[in-house]
Amino acid sequence: MHKLDRYDLKILQILAEDGRITKSSLAEAINLSVTPAWERVRKLEMAGLITGYRAQIDWGAVFKRQQVLVEITLARHTAQDMRRFEQRMATAPQVAFCYATGGGVDYLAMIQSPDIDHYQRFVDQLLLEDLGIERYFTYIVTKTIKTGGALPAELAPST
């Protein structure tokens, strides 16, 4: 765990909201000069707290797609079975995200496909690959309410 001060937390909050902010605008927003502000950003990157910068793309505006949330439970919970399943999810281009979870299911994944038929063919292929899937539950996404995520307000440093 890295010790972060209010400047570091504010930098993380600002970059989570706007990864393209200029150095001078970031420095002004946290009330530091440009060089110390940018040195802090570099230290946060080197510490692995900032893992990258990317554009959020509305693929639905580019391509027709269907988003499907899937709860997945494995039959066995050996390290080898879990690793095999996780590696398959990590390399599947259809998988937007996949989380290992505690509680009633083992994994929660977001699958993106052109339509439900393509989604089902993808799942059928996973079942044929003998990844140890015991059961899965499919939830069709009908509307996106919120994506992305900045620092929650209750965790944000006071300014």
Residues 6+ apart with CB under 8 A from 30: 7, 10, 11, 14, 37
Helix axes 34-46, 23-30, angle to 10 degrees: 100
Q: What is the pLDDT of residue 66?
A: 87
pTM for the structure as a whole: 0.63
SS3 70: strand
| 159 residues of the chain, pLDDT tens digit each | 578 898 999 999 889 888 899 999 999 999 999 999 999 999 999 999 998 887 777 666 665 678 999 999 999 999 999 999 999 999 999 999 999 999 889 999 999 998 899 999 999 999 999 899 999 999 999 888 887 666 666 666 665
The answer to whether 73 and 124 have CB atoms below 8 angstroms apart is: no
Q: How many residues does the chain have?
A: 159
